[in-house]
Amino acid sequence: MSTDTDFDLFRTSEDHEALREAVRAVSEDKIAPYAAAVDAEARYPQEAHDALVASDFFAPHVPEEYDGVGADALATCIVIEEVARVCASSSLIPAVNKLGSLPLILAGSEELKARYLTPLAQGKTTFSYGLSEREAGSDTAAMKCRARQDGDEWVLSGQKSWITNAGVSEYYTVLAVTDPDGPRGGNVTAFVVEKSDAGFTFGEKERKLGIKGSPTRELHFDNVRLPADRVVGEVGGGLKLALHTLDHTRVTIGAQAVGIAQGALDQALAYVKERKQFGKRIADFQGIQFMLADMAMELEAARQMVYVAAAKSERGDKDLTFFGAAAKCYASDVAMKITTDAVQLLGGAGYTTDFPLERMMRDAKITQIYEGTNQVQRIVMARSLLR
């Protein structure tokens, strides 16, 4: 690991804090009022989508040359964090836009970048990512989805599971085996698939514990023909590209977890300062104060880990693999703990839908699971230490 002594890593710039203020204003005014209904109705947060497009927070990571705002990795994390503070489902819009399009940014041809990143930056579509399958979750190299070459085209067959914003997105980065007899992990290629491609369909929406406003569906490919220029990066280099992508985007899941935790802490603080028992505010009881102190301490530790990992992502540091996994793992574990404690602080009220904490608690759980379970993150960290 790096022994970087650049202490600017630990201080956000004035621009970053101005961005936070702007995103928080949009989130509280345009997103928070719909969060409960989005969850209860399990519907896509179109109000948040429209607000993020209007404010240029929809896909802030897209470089300026493709009509984006060119936000750095930390700025993108701040956008996701602040949206997640009020609605985790909505925060998946900028988060998954980065996940789906980052392979193009890292390895796509200039023609491919211009064709697909520009409409993304303009808010004309979301961009999803197709890696996992029913029997290839943590073990991504075991995927069965196939793409065979036929003249100057590729023919895609198979399925992908647990795809965020599936059906809403027009564009999908999809990983498929292109050489069944090739070396495991070195026989996968990335492609861009368009929603309108013949033979490409979707499964039913998953019925989930949380993030109910973000549709999760399977992708089905029935001999989908793709032109050769849809290949992202090198043929056979797809899995390496996919894992490199996750090194960067796990940081954004850490940011999402921090946002959920901050929202829960804010709600709990407001409640304990108003709620009275035994003749005084429950905030005046030392046992409550200790809980709040632990929640805030762990939240700030998680936030700093995420911000340092974001800085490493921006620079492309060699130890990003460790720090991305560590930030995602620690922040999501903290988010689960803080949201659980926040529900506890509200007592019976916290268990009802009259308050957003039960939703935040349900939403926090997925941050420990997607983009690699926290058990897998610990494997990633251990391998980095032992390498």
Residues 6+ apart with CB under 8 A from 354: none
Burial 321-354 (b: 16+ CB within 10 A, else e): bbbbbbbbbbbbbbbbbbbbbbbebbeeebeeee
Helical H runs in the chain?
Answer: 14-26, 32-41, 46-54, 73-84, 88-107, 110-121, 238-274, 286-315, 320-346, 357-366, 374-386
Burial class of residue 259, CB neighbours in 10 A (0-12, 13-18, 19+): buried
Cβ-proximal residues to 7 (8 Å cutoff; 6+ apart), any chain: none
d(CA 262, CA 91): 14
C-alpha–C-alpha distance, residues 143 and 131, integer Å: 8
SS3 274: helix
Please answer whether residues 168 and 126 qualify as being in contact, where contact means their C-beta atoms are separated by less than 8 angstroms.
yes
Q: Name, in order, each residue with C-beta under 8 angstroms of 239's C-beta and a sequence gap of 6 or more.
A: 140, 141, 175, 185, 186, 188
CB-CB contact of 245 with 322 (8 Å): no
Count of C-beta atoms within a 10 Å radius of residue 175: 27
CA separation for the pair 18, 291 (Å, rounded):
31
Q: Which residues are catalytic?
A: 371
Q: How is residue 10 written in tokens?
A: 């630990």
